[in-house]
């Protein structure tokens, strides 16, 4: 690869340390997020910073950008010690720009205001908006951005917002761009143009830190890759002299995990859940789910495929009882539960793993123990005569933490302090502890790193093997193919196709998801 | 003299609205920086007393103004220290401050009862029979509107109120900005109190503000955190108050207490009918740097 060597040579030529972080340590409460991490960045290089969720990548970069104060360690930027009183203001002044995973644009302000605001001084009584606008337009032309400066940033698409963020950093004179999980919200096409943009920035001598847990991204454009694991620096390697397997091994400290063993479908399933002709209408009388019927047998995993927003979530909410259907019936174990309350459905054996664990899954301010008994605290042995029995709750919580491998400093720690994967394990433990007969799982592995994903999938399969009927709603096709016995495809609120595991045709599945009728 | 009745009503409304406008300006600054200014009523009360004490003991209105501004700054520092530096829940501290202020002002008023049992000299009107307070209020509304929406510091202030995370990420010291905003806000609210006692009723009584700070809160809410709209809301409430006074005076057979209810009922109605308003995104959220 000629291009690759030229780029690599360029990176070596500018061999000057831009950033030198030494022995950085940071703790949040009792969680040690970073432990004596050293990070050296050269001018004109793209650095991949990889690690699992909770490895400390974002924390390290937030410290470099001055968002967090390190507990210990030295930061040098352009060979100047900046460890004292480091703040985003100084970081910007030194040419460091950070694009956060959750963008820090002010949705109520225009694009122009958002870009210019950080450079305004408190004495700028009459800002020269026209001059700013033309400067930004020049910059746009240089890098090939297309943004509408006078639009409120609220109305922009995610890709556009990211462009505005990068533009903001460049406008401030950033020489170092920190991109925190930049592609998590982008389509593949948007991601591609982002990478082209980063390469263009490198050609101009900028340094880029690409924080990601997606290995292939880091491999695609980085010059060097730094691996963090559990808050420790594991290695920094040249991209040319490594391969994805090696990096993956450093990230998780074990060989690539083999996929879950495909489970056997039950021979003649006995249907424990049926949905019969359910229609759901939203406020504007447009049906979001139209006349859907499905049945799931004991021990069976039914996958519901579809591009997000085609009525899958509404279907799940109707089954659980969060939404009322306009027409149709729902049966659990042969009983018509259409008019039952959520609590009664739960008692009848319905378990639920919600799509968004923060709004429906856990109460992040409450402790691990409290969350684990949230659904069943009114039942013995957790309470008697309406009074809770803390020792019983503690005992069960400790068991659950052990058996589900929830990494937490203790059961009295707020769930908010746990990493995403461990929060999801709490949700899982909570749902499965009721010994459900039916489990509705929505996007159960979204946002989890691969070891947590493997764990959750394995648990779902185990669950099915023990005879639970599972409705698995996911936009991750690999997950559906790996776990489901049958797959139904939803498009615009209707079921447009059904496949058994044996008769699966991947091309046809894709076409159906995109709205093409099978002929 | 202008004879037309509605000009008359407008001027009367503006006179009654002047204290409200100052308080509304203060609330605007604070909430645009993301701090709920529930304590406005207490600050206003403190300013109202300070104005009278300053004028009586100092012998002239300028001394009253100085005392008012000093009271505003002190109240602002107390509020800012508790709700920004510590920080604590902004609503709870605001309510607590109002109660403390009610107690402290009544206590000081009793200590100085002998000297304060007088009417301070009326402040002569400048234009159209309007006091300097009313004119200053109008000018300040326009200045505030210009400051918030057309200047650099205004943009930065609004950024802090909308999204502290983004503001911090762009290099703004959120704590300093909120601290300063609360002090300015409290000085403005104290001036509102002075406009009430020094500029209008010319004496102090226990709880003289009678919930005007809260009415100003409603005006800001109704005005969608925009100074010009908030001004119109203040005028509506001022008109209610002016009508209450006239009704009381002409007394069309009704118990005067019914007329005195008018501004409060008007507030309830207007805010109730105004619908949901979306304030600055991060207003009310304490800010903690990690």
Q: The CATH number of the domain where A6 resides is what? A: 3.40.50.300
Q: Are residues A449 and A307 in the same domain?
A: yes
* A3-12, A263-272, A287-296: range with lowest mean pLDDT: A3-12
Instruction: Provide the residue range defining the domain that includes A70.
Output: 1-95+210-256
> Does a structural domain hold residue A482?
yes
Higher pLDDT among residues A434 and B46, named by residue: B46
Q: Is A128 on the interface with B (CB under 8 A)?
A: no
From the list A65, A90, A120, the residue facing B152 with the nearest CB is A120
CB atoms within 10 A of CB B74: 16
When divided into structural domains, chain B yields a total of: 1
Residue A133 clears pLDDT 50, i.e. is over it: yes
> Does a structural domain hold residue A191?
no
Question: Would you state the pLDDT for residue A207?
Answer: 94
> Does a structural domain hold residue B234?
no
- Mean residue pLDDT of chain A comes to 83
Q: Are residues A442 and A297 in the same domain?
A: yes
> Does a structural domain hold residue A262?
no
A69 interaction partners in chain B (CB closer than 8 Å):
289-290
Distance separating alpha carbons of residues A267 and B5, to the nearest angstrom: 90
Last residue of a domain, one of A228, A256, A284: A256
> Does a structural domain hold residue B134?
yes
> Does a structural domain hold residue A345?
yes
Distance separating alpha carbons of residues A353 and A347, to the nearest angstrom: 16
Question: Would you state the pLDDT for residue B186?
Answer: 97
> Does a structural domain hold residue B163?
yes
Question: Would you state the pLDDT for residue A85?
Answer: 86
Residue B115 clears pLDDT 70, i.e. is over it: yes
Q: Are residues A288 and A236 in the same domain?
A: no
Contact B155 A126 (CB under 8 A): no
How far B13 CA lies from chain A's nearest CA (Å)?
33
Distance separating alpha carbons of residues A402 and A427, to the nearest angstrom: 15
Interface test with A, best of B150, B166, B176, B287 (most A CBs within 10 A): B166
Q: Are residues A286 and A366 in the same domain?
A: yes
Beta bridge partners of residue A39, listed in sequence order = A21
Dihedral sign, Cα of residue B38, residue B39, residue B42, residue B47: negative
Instruction: Provide the residue range defining the domain that includes B207.
Output: 9-213
Residue range A350-364: average pLDDT? 82
Alpha-carbon distances, residue A433 vs A376, A436, A443, A463 (angstroms): 9, 8, 19, 11
Nearest to A36 by CA among A51, A49, A24, A48: A24
Q: Are residues A226 and A282 in the same domain?
A: no
- Measured between CA atoms, the residue of chain B closest to residue A98 is B169
Distance separating alpha carbons of residues A66 and A91, to the nearest angstrom: 6
Question: Would you state the pLDDT for residue A283?
Answer: 65
- Measured between CA atoms, the residue of chain B closest to residue A67 is B169
pLDDT in tens, B55-99: 999 999 999 999 999 999 999 999 999 999 988 899 999 999 999
Q: Are residues A252 and A296 in the same domain?
A: no
Question: Would you state the pLDDT for residue A13?
Answer: 43
Which A residues, 20 through 59, put their C-beta within 8 Å of a C-beta on chain B?
A: 28
Q: Are residues A398 and A446 in the same domain?
A: yes
Distance separating alpha carbons of residues B194 and B68, to the nearest angstrom: 7
The HSE-up count of residue A215 (CA atoms within 13 Å, CB side) is 17
Q: Are residues A218 and A299 in the same domain?
A: no
Question: Would you state the pLDDT for residue A163?
Answer: 86
Last residue of a domain, one of A222, A256, A290: A256
A28 interaction partners in chain B (CB closer than 8 Å):
290
Residue range A190-213: average pLDDT? 88
Q: In what order do the strands lie in the sheet with A486-491?
A: A350-353, A438-442, A469-473, A301-305, A486-491, A494-500
Contact A117 B173 (CB under 8 A): no
Identify residues of B whose CB sits under 8 angstroms from chain A CBs.
Answer: 150-153, 155-156, 158-159, 162-163, 165-173, 281, 289-290
- Is there a contact between A295 and A275 (Cβ–Cβ < 8 Å)? yes
> Does a structural domain hold residue A127?
no
Distance separating alpha carbons of residues A278 and A238, to the nearest angstrom: 56
Q: Are residues A225 and A279 in the same domain?
A: no
> Does a structural domain hold residue A306?
yes
Q: Are residues A346 and A395 in the same domain?
A: yes
Contact A88 B171 (CB under 8 A): yes
How far A150 CA lies from chain B's nearest CA (Å)?
14
Q: Are residues A246 and A296 in the same domain?
A: no
> Does a structural domain hold residue B232?
no
When divided into structural domains, chain A yields a total of: 2
Residue A469: partners with Cβ closer than 8 Å, 6 or more residues away: A271, A272, A273, A296, A297, A298, A299, A300, A302, A437, A438, A439
> Does a structural domain hold residue B225?
no
Contact A120 B162 (CB under 8 A): no
How far B28 CA lies from chain A's nearest CA (Å)?
17
Q: What is the ipTM of this complex?
A: 0.85
Question: Would you state the pLDDT for residue B135?
Answer: 94
Q: Are residues A292 and A218 in the same domain?
A: no
> Does a structural domain hold residue A119?
no
């Amino acid at each position: 690869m000629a291009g690759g060597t030229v780029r690599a040579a360029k990176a070596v030529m500018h061999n000057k340390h831009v950033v030198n972080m030494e022995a950085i340590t940071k703790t949040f409460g009792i969680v040690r997020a970073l432990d004596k991490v050293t990070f050296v960045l050269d001018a004109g290089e793209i650095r991949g910073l990889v690690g699992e969720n909770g490895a400390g990548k974002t924390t390290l970069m937030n410290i470099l950008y001055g968002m967090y104060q390190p507990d210990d360690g030295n930061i040098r930027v352009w060979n100047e010690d900046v460890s004292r009183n480091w703040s985003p203001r100084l970081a910007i002044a030194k040419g460091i720009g950070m694009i956060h995973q959750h963008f820090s644009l002010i949705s109520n302000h225009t694009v122009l205001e958002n870009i210019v605001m950080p450079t305004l001084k408190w004495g700028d009584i009459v800002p020269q908006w026209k001059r700013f606008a033309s400067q930004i337009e020049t910059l746009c032309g240089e890098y090939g951005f297309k943004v509408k400066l006078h639009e409120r940033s609220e109305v922009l698409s995610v890709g556009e917002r990211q462009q505005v963020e990068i533009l903001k950093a460049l406008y401030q004179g950033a020489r170092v761009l920190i991109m925190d999980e930049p592609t998590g919200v982008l389509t593949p096409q948007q991601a591609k143009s982002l990478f082209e943009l980063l390469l263009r920035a490198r050609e101009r001598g900028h340094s880029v830190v690409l924080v990601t847990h997606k290995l292939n991204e880091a491999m695609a454009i980085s010059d060097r890759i730094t691996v963090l694991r559990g808050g420790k620096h594991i290695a920094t390697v040249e991209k040319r002299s490594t391969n994805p397997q090696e990096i993956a091994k450093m990230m998780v400290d074990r060989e690539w995990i083999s996929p879950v063993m495909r489970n056997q479908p039950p021979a003649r399933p006995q249907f424990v859940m049926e949905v019969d002709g359910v229609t759901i209408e939203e406020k504007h009388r447009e049906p979001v789910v139209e006349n859907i019927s499905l049945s799931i047998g004991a021990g069976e995993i039914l996958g519901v495929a579809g591009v997000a927003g085609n009525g899958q979530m509404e279907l799940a909410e109707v089954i659980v009882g969060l939404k009322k259907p306009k027409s149709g019936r729902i049966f659990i174990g042969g009983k018509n539960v259409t008019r039952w309350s959520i609590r009664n459905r739960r008692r009848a054996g319905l378990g639920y793993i919600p799509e968004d664990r923060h709004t429906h899954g856990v109460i992040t301010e409450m402790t691990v123990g409290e969350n684990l008994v949230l659904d069943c605290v009114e039942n013995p042995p957790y309470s008697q005569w309406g009074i809770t029995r803390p020792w019983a709750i503690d005992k069960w919580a400790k068991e659950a933490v052990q058996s589900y491998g929830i990494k937490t400093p203790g059961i009295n720690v707020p769930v908010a302090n746990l990493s995403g994967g461990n929060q999801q394990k709490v949700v899982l433990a909570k749902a499965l502890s009721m010994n459900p007969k039916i489990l509705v799982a929505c996007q159960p592995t979204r946002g989890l790193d691969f070891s947590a994903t493997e764990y959750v999938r394995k648990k779902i399969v185990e669950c099915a093997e023990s005879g639970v009927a599972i409705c698995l709603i996911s936009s991750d096709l690999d997950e559906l193919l790996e776990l489901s016995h049958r797959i139904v495809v939803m498009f615009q609120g209707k079921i447009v196709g059904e496949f058994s595991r044996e008769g699966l045709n991947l091309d046809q599945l894709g076409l159906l998801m995109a709205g093409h009728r099978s002929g | 003299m202008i004879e037309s009745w509605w000009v008359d009503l407008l001027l009367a409304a503006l006179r009654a609205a002047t204290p409200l406008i100052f308080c509304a300006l203060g609330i605007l600054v604070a909430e645009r920086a993301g701090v709920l200014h529930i304590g406005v009523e207490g600050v206003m009360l403190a300013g109202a007393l300070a104005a009278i004490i300053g004028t009586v003991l100092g012998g002239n209105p300028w001394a009253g103004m100085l005392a008012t501004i000093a009271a505003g700054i002190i109240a602002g520092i107390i509020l800012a220290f508790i709700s920004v530096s510590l920080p604590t829940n902004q609503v709870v501290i605001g309510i607590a401050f109002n109660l403390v202020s009610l107690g402290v002002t009544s206590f000081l008023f009793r200590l100085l009862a002998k000297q304060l049992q007088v009417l301070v000299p009326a402040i002569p009107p400048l234009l159209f029979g309007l006091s300097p307070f009313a004119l200053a209020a109008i000018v300040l509304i326009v200045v505030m509107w210009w400051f918030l929406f057309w200047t650099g510091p205004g943009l930065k202030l609004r950024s802090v109120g909308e999204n502290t995370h983004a503001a911090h990420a762009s290099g703004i010291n959120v704590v300093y900005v909120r601290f300063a905003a609360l002090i300015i806000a409290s000085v403005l609210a104290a001036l509102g109190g002075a406009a009430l006692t020094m500029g209008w009723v010319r004496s102090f009584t226990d709880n003289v503000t009678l919930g005007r700070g809260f009415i100003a809160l409603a005006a800001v809410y109704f005005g969608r955190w925009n100074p010009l709209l908030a001004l119109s809301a203040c005028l509506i409430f001022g008109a209610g108050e002016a009508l209450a006074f006239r009704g009381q005076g002409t007394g069309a057979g009704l118990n005067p207490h019914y007329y005195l209810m008018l501004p409060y009922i008007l507030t309830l109605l207007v805010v109730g009918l105004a619908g949901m308003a979306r304030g600055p995104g991060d207003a009310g959220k304490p800010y903690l740097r990690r």
